[in-house]
């Protein structure tokens, strides 16, 4: 955010991971009977679609070109402050209803295959009458099944409006959260097994990573509830009643995702408890071994020490007569053995060994 | 959920434990004076009952046959998104009011006799005018007393509408929660006794299992409150005022269940505290034994060591004259005894022994 | 609750501690100028009072006789589901407004003199026009002062309606909570003193008992707030405006009770912290004693050990010449003394002794 | 509260610290142009002021005289249940709006100079048209600056109504909370320094005292928010719009006080964490010293022990030839020194010393 | 706050860090086409701007001159209680709507470069028709970019009203919070690295400082949400609808800031957990080293002690014949080596070394 401090509101400054890859623009235009799809070089090629009756879906992969965003904004009548939000990848999920369009922004989540980090990509959607414009940070997304459905005309998508298309995008993103959560669920189980097996100090780090993952997920997903709720309430005439029923479904899914996040949070904070109790148990075990050894050998060493004293047997017959007994040495060894046995019996009774 | 990602909404895909057992369909049809009950092979045999004035209860045991669900949906006018929900066993308890029917979904809970795991089976109910359709994952349920009451005409059930039947099913499920909770209450007491008795490391695992049981129960039951509240508010004309009074009762029961869950959560987190304090106390006890032994024997061993020094008595009369005294050895033994007694007195005063 | 699972709603089954003591029925009937009181054998003797203008208070001590409850229900027009609730002692405090009567249920709490357990007795009240019926589990209650006030005509009670009588019963129960809370407050202070004095492992158990007491109290009393609030809002014409002012007072008391419960909860969870820190401090103290002893004697024993070595002074004059010095032994004793003093000075500086 | 259990509501029983000091009654009567002040012996002397247009402020220092309270109640038309509340010092702060007056009760807090305990005195205010009656437990209060302002006519107070006077009293009490909080803030810093310096077991007690202070403050002040909010909403015509602006100010102050209390609570629970970590660190330090000493001296003592063995050099030349070497003793001493140096190097690398 | 206790409300007393630096007054006056800027010595020079149609922004750097504040208040019709708030730097962020102006107060935060303490400066804004008066404690602020935008006419600021100017100031302050938060984010990472590296006792202090920083930030920023929400709801006609859209943006930013604060709070409390587990692990490691050393050497020392006993071989051939064996000494050394190897194998199996 640092970069934008001090700039006038509505300044189109890209905030996010810098990239210089070329921006890709993709247009899909369809009605029940008609389908057209193309990649365009120049955004102006998309503009004629605005005024047709057919549904148009424009995908912009790359949000770092202020000029492009600005010209889209001007042509489709989008408020500068919305354009600023589109270019700023640190948005909180939210929805804003304007007279002629709805602005939706949320996070598409990926789990990095190699290091299991969770990565977020911001998706902005402008839903207008007959058109949907979706903005992403990078090429590549999870919307291919939707494109396929439009192409083949499978399901209801070709027969319904732009609001249903926007819903489908949203639904795909929420469905994808379940996959992320299942991955995390497996990671939690893995860490749990680690703790009960061995519990290295690194385990704390693993727990901590899971914790921040959950904090991150929560921050990304929690506000969605309000967003969908707001869409469902039908404050905008851009959302038809038929689509409303589907939104109710995505609302339930959002709730389920949030439920799972809360459950995982509980489980992860439980992990820390198990870890700490496992550390305590180990300390206890170490202490027991030390205590057993020390308490067995210390009296024995003392006995040996006593008979190592140099009392002069010439000076007095009272001075350590045992040293001069015939069975002195075996007797002392037997005494030592008895002490050891008593100790072992004691620890057995205490259930230490 | 993974399986359904990318599919168009309303796709009838079974999500849950896979099973290939045949689906059982059971129909009960009754009025105040009339009663009919049969198992049918083909769902179409049930369709005539839709338009009669008598109350019809259709039970479908098994939700993995998309064709069956689809044909029920078409005949009874159920929205595809509801059918999708019926086939997906990962639903959150919820209620959805449509114009001609109400869709209810919740969890029936069992406690596995052998390993005490809690198992959930999803129950979906379609409540229409004069008919109730209930969907379960497997044959076998807790509704037999209700069937018996319908058969014998005991209680009000034969004289009231389909809404009362739906209420009865719901009530039976909520009542069943109390049994689960009583089982868990006993398990909590068992673990508490274990901790105060012996507190093995496995106890942590037992506590953790109880904790996740509560998380699971909470997730399954908490949303019910909203569901019943919604039913009670009488937003739908399918719920009569007479049944509303009974719903108030089930609402109280739901609250009681949730109260108990919260109480158990408090108790279980208390268990962990007791466990940790029991571990700490044991460490303390181990430390005390070690300290007592070490502090008693270390000075004794030192004394023995001193008189084991080889100072040459020929070189100087100052060199360890004690070794040449007549009562040297008994004196030293007495000194050692005194040291031991002082130590024991000290630890007694400290209340360590 | 187990017993009632599977029964039709409204089934009159007694749920609670089984008792076979005879049910006692007591009637008080009064107006401003008139007072009548009697114990009756048969409930039918009370029925004539229903239609008189005088205020009638019927007390039923014992709720295990389904026939009795049923005949009262029939005569006074009480809904079967309310009768079921009256006989079920596991109710959550609640209030239900019907057209001709209000149903109130709450817990009367006692503290067992011998073992200090908190015991609850369920009180149900049916408040109708001109009559109050109160149901208790056992004979003996805290309402005698109210009876006395009615008998003597002290206070406003004889001049006001049945709603004021119901309020008085409720108020007496809430006032009684303060006594329970004062007892618990004293128990908390006792445990606090114990911890700071000695802190045996049993203390954890005592803390845990207090904790579950608070959980139990909270569960019994928390819902009352909603109950009184509901009464105060005057949704029923059975509650006069004059009584409403008094209800505001009992509402404040309920709040005060809940406040105190929350305060005690905070204090009790603080107790556990003190306990754990006291355990830690003890461990520290044990460790210090062990360390002081060991670190003082280990070097001394080492020195003694050195001069116990058998180096042959004949083989070399370098072999332990100290043993042959004139002041060898006193010198070594002095060195040992110095080591001890340095150690003691070190521990003093560390503030360990 | 115990004393009042079983009494009819509205019974005038003094509940609080018993006192027998005489009750002081003080009257201030003023308009913009007129000022009169006197101490009266008999409450009846105040009654004529009720019906004048001038503002009258009656202060009653002492609430243990039921007769006095009763006669005020009768004359000014105050409901008996309010009179009961005035005499009961265990009130929760609250406000009650009646037709002709408003009843306000809150706590005036003092910090005892000697032992730093926080003490509360209950202040009740009856605000009527043109009069304010304030009740306190003891003589002496924080309202002198207000009296001075009335006497000198400084500020707005002489030109505004009785509601402004009531506001001024309330404002003075809330302002006084800031002083208490500043004292506590200093106490928290003191304890924090103690922990980081020395952390005696008594520190836990100090933390615990601060904790209960905050619980007490919270209980006393939290409900005020609701009280002021209620006053501000202007539900009563006794509060003029002009005074409403000032109430908004006191509302902010109340919020600030509550904010500070919450902040302090967080800080105090943080103190306990620092304390526990300081105890843990000390244990670690003790353990390190023990370990360093033991691990350095144990091998040395072992070496000395070896050369204290009495193997017979006559029996075999293999039996401890070192004892007969020329440089045997210096060599062994050197070996011991080397062992010590290696140990010290090891501990240095571990950053223990 | 102590200074103001006992003063009449609306008393103009400066509460905050005392300063005697001269007060600086700066005026900017502009319309779309006109721009004027000057520093004035006397506040009266600003008064003519009140009645012009142009937008006037008066900046007062220094709030310790009651006379100045009073004369501004009188001229612009500001209520005395607002003037009191402006001079009191311990305000909670808030907004108050009056008929002819809106009063806004919030905190501008700086991070001290040297010691990283967070410092707050209170900013008060009076937004009237065509004018904005901003009050700060000291010269120097973060509003220079706004001044620059007005001077150069960049962005919308010159074409919009005084409400947009007030919004711009507010927005600049909220944007600045992000910088503070990024600094803190870095500090958290630093402390995390410290813990996992070395974790000195000072780390606790660092964690504690971060914790109080978050408490302070939370206190300063949390109430802003309500403030912006209140502004957005458009309760005042001083806020135009066009500016409302921008306020929605600043509302989102405020939410983002609060989200980040909550996330940081979670992370910081996680830090303490890692710290404590790192302390526990160190204790475990120390204990292991002690145990390994002790358990290896104690039996060896015992063996050496045994052969140091002075049993008289003349008295009996049973008395320690080993001492007279030819291979006695090497045998004993070998036995000692075996004991050591067994111990090392044991600890290897336990994964301690």
Rounded Cα distance between B178 and E324, Å, is 81
Identify the DSSP state of E88: B
Q: Using CB atoms within 10 A of its CB, is residue B338 exposed (0-12), middle (13-18) or buried (19+)? A: exposed
| Nearest beta carbon to residue E270 from set A211, A276, A327 | A211
Average pLDDT, chain A: 87
Q: Answer yes or no: are the C-beta atoms of B116 and B216 closer than 8 Å.
A: no
E339 contact residues in A (CB cutoff 8 A): none
| Nearest beta carbon to residue A284 from set B94, B282, B332 | B282
pLDDT value, residue C165:
93
Torsion of CA B64, B69, B71, B74, to 10 degrees: -160
B301 contact residues in C (CB cutoff 8 A): 297, 301
Rounded Cα distance between C95 and C233, Å, is 13
Q: Do B155 and C94 touch (CB under 8 A)?
A: no
Rounded Cα distance between A21 and C120, Å, is 72
Rounded Cα distance between C250 and D85, Å, is 11
E105-142 residue pLDDT tens:
999 998 877 777 888 899 999 999 899 999 998 887 88
- Is C85 in CB contact (< 8 Å) with chain B? yes
B74 Cβ neighbours under 8 A, 6+ residues apart: none
C-alpha closest to that of E12 among E135, E99, E169, E140: E135
Rounded Cα distance between B223 and B91, Å, is 11
E312-339 residue pLDDT tens:
888 888 888 888 888 888 999 999 999 9
Phi, psi angles (nearest 5°) of residue E239: -100, 115
Pick from A264, A286, A321 the residue to mutate for testing the E interface (most E CBs within 10 Å). A286
CA D28 remoteness from chain centre: 33
Q: Do C283 and B284 touch (CB under 8 A)?
A: yes
C-alpha closest to that of E180 among E264, E61, E251: E264
- C125 three-state secondary structure: strand
pLDDT value, residue C19:
74
C273 contact residues in D (CB cutoff 8 A): 204, 272
Residue E2 has pLDDT above 80, yes or no: no
Q: Give the pLDDT mean for E90-101.
A: 88
D280 contact residues in E (CB cutoff 8 A): 276, 279-280, 283
Residue A111: its H or E element: strand A101-111
How close are the terminal C-alpha atoms of chain B, in Å? 61
D276 contact residues in C (CB cutoff 8 A): 276-277, 280
Phi, psi angles (nearest 5°) of residue B66: -60, -35
Q: Do B304 and A302 touch (CB under 8 A)?
A: yes
- A224 three-state secondary structure: helix
Q: Which residues, numbered 253 to 292 in chain D, qualify as contacts with chain C under a Cβ-Cβ cut-off of 8 Å?
A: 272, 275-276, 279-280, 282-283, 286-287, 289-290
Q: Do B201 and A259 touch (CB under 8 A)?
A: no
Residues lower than pLDDT 50 in chain B: 1
Question: Can you list the positions of beta strands (E) in B41-198?
Answer: 55-61, 94-97, 101-111, 118-128, 131-136
Rounded Cα distance between D54 and D68, Å, is 23
- B134 three-state secondary structure: strand
Q: Do B329 and A310 touch (CB under 8 A)?
A: no
Q: Answer yes or no: are the C-beta atoms of D120 and D137 closer than 8 Å.
A: no
- Is E320 in CB contact (< 8 Å) with chain A? yes
Rounded Cα distance between A290 and B334, Å, is 30
Q: Do E155 and A10 touch (CB under 8 A)?
A: yes
Residue B173: its H or E element: helix B162-197
- Is C323 in CB contact (< 8 Å) with chain B? yes
Rounded Cα distance between C241 and C161, Å, is 11
Q: Using CB atoms within 10 A of its CB, is residue D336 exposed (0-12), middle (13-18) or buried (19+)? A: middle
Q: Do C1 and B179 touch (CB under 8 A)?
A: yes
Q: Do B310 and C305 touch (CB under 8 A)?
A: no
C327-341 residue pLDDT tens:
888 999 999 999 999
Q: Answer yes or no: are the C-beta atoms of B203 and B194 closer than 8 Å.
A: yes
Beta pairing partners, E102: E97, E127
Two tokens, residue C283: 């461990």
* Overall residue count recorded for chain E in this entry: 353
Q: Do A272 and E267 touch (CB under 8 A)?
A: no
Q: Answer yes or no: are the C-beta atoms of C3 and C13 closer than 8 Å.
A: yes
Q: Which residues, numbered 98 to 157 in chain C, qualify as contacts with chain D under a Cβ-Cβ cut-off of 8 Å?
A: 142, 144-145, 149, 154-157
B168-215 residue pLDDT tens:
999 999 989 988 998 888 888 888 888 877 657 678 888 888 888 888
Q: Is this complex's ipTM strictly greater than 0.90?
A: no
Q: Do E249 and A81 touch (CB under 8 A)?
A: yes
In the block, residue with structure tokens 């047709």: A52
- Residue E348: Cβ within 10 Å count: 10
Average pLDDT, chain E: 87
Within 13 Å of residue B72, how many CA atoms lie on the same side as its CB?
A: 27
Encode chain D (353 residues) as per-residue pLDDT tens digits: 455 566 677 777 887 777 777 889 999 999 998 899 999 888 888 888 888 889 999 999 988 888 899 999 999 999 988 999 999 888 889 988 888 999 999 999 988 777 778 888 999 999 998 999 999 988 878 898 899 999 988 878 898 889 999 999 999 999 899 889 988 888 898 888 888 776 576 788 888 888 888 888 888 888 888 888 888 876 778 888 888 888 888 888 898 899 899 889 888 888 888 888 888 888 888 888 889 988 999 999 999 999 988 888 888 888 888 888 888 889 999 999 999 999 999 989 888 87
B241-to-B235, C73, C77 alpha-carbon distances in Å:
11, 20, 17
| Nearest beta carbon to residue D277 from set E4, E96, E279 | E279
Q: What percentage of chain E carries pLDDT values higher than 90? A: 30
Residue E203 has pLDDT above 90, yes or no: no
Q: Do A219 and E263 touch (CB under 8 A)?
A: yes
- D163 three-state secondary structure: helix
A314-351 residue pLDDT tens:
888 888 888 888 888 899 999 999 999 999 999 898 88
Residues lower than pLDDT 70 in chain C: 1-7, 198-199, 201, 234
A152-to-A29, A80, A258 alpha-carbon distances in Å:
13, 37, 33
Beta pairing partners, E107: E122
Rounded Cα distance between A123 and A104, Å, is 8
A83-117 residue pLDDT tens:
999 998 888 899 888 889 999 999 999 887 777 78
pLDDT band at E3; cut points 50, 70, 90 = low
pTM of the predicted model as reported, rounded to 2 decimal places: 0.82
C158 contact residues in D (CB cutoff 8 A): none
Q: Answer yes or no: are the C-beta atoms of E88 and E15 closer than 8 Å.
A: yes
Two tokens, residue D184: 């506590």
Which long-range CB contacts under 8 A does C227-233 form with residues at least 24 apart? C227/C93, C227/C94, C227/C95, C227/C104, C227/C106, C228/C170, C228/C254, C230/C95, C230/C97, C231/C95, C231/C102
Q: Give the pLDDT mean for E16-29.
A: 84
- C186 three-state secondary structure: helix
Rounded Cα distance between D147 and B352, Å, is 64
pLDDT value, residue B239:
87
Q: Are strands B55-61 and B131-136 parallel, antiparallel or unpaired?
A: parallel
Beta pairing partners, D102: D97, D127
Pick from A101, A105, A208, A273 the residue to mutate for testing the E interface (most E CBs within 10 Å). A208
Please, what is the Cα angle at A248 between A242 and A251, to 5 degrees?
145
Q: Enumerate neighbours of E (3 or more CB pairs within 8 A).
A: A, D
Beta pairing partners, B99: none
pLDDT value, residue C1:
47
Q: Do D312 and E324 touch (CB under 8 A)?
A: yes
Q: Answer yes or no: are the C-beta atoms of C138 and C62 closer than 8 Å.
A: yes
Q: Answer yes or no: are the C-beta atoms of D305 and B308 closer than 8 Å.
A: no
């Amino acid at each position: 955010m640092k970069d934008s401090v001090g700039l006038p509101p509505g300044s189109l400054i890209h905030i996010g991971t810098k990239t210089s890859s070329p921006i890709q623009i993709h247009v899909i235009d369809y009605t029940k009977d008609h389908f057209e799809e193309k990649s365009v070089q120049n955004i102006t090629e998309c503009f004629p679609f605005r005024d047709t009756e057919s549904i148009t879906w424009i995908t912009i992969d790359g949000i770092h070109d202020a000029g492009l965003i600005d010209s889209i904004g001007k042509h489709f009548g989008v408020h500068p402050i919305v354009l600023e939000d589109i270019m700023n990848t640190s948005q909180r999920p939210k929805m804003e209803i304007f007279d002629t369009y709805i602005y939706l922004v949320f996070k598409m989540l990926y789990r990095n295959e190699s290091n299991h980090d969770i990565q977020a990509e911001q998706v902005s959607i402008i839903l207008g009458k007959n058109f949907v414009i979706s903005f992403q940070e990078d090429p590549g997304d999870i919307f291919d099944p939707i494109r396929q459905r439009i192409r083949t005309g499978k399901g209801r998508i070709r027969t319904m409006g732009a609001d249903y298309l926007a819903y489908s995008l949203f639904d795909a993103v929420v469905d994808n959260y379940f996959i992320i959560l299942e991955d995390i669920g497996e990671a939690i189980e893995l860490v749990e097994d680690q703790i009960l097996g061995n519990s290295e100090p690194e385990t704390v780090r693993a727990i901590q990573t899971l914790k921040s993952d959950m904090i991150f997920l929560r921050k990304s997903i929690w506000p969605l509830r309000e967003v969908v709720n707001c869409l469902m309430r039908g404050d905008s005439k851009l959302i038809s009643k038929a689509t409303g029923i589907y939104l109710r479904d995505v609302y339930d899914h959002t709730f389920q995702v949030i439920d799972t996040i809360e459950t995982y949070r509980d489980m992860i904070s439980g992990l820390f408890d198990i870890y700490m109790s496992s550390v305590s148990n180990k300390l206890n075990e170490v202490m027991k071994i030390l205590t057993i050894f020390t308490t067995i050998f210390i009296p024995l060493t003392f006995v040996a020490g006593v008979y190592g004293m140099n009392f002069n047997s010439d000076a007095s017959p009272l001075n350590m007569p045992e040293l001069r007994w015939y069975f002195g040495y075996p007797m002392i060894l037997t005494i030592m053995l008895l002490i050891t046995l008593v100790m072992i019996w004691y620890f057995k009774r205490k259930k230490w060994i």
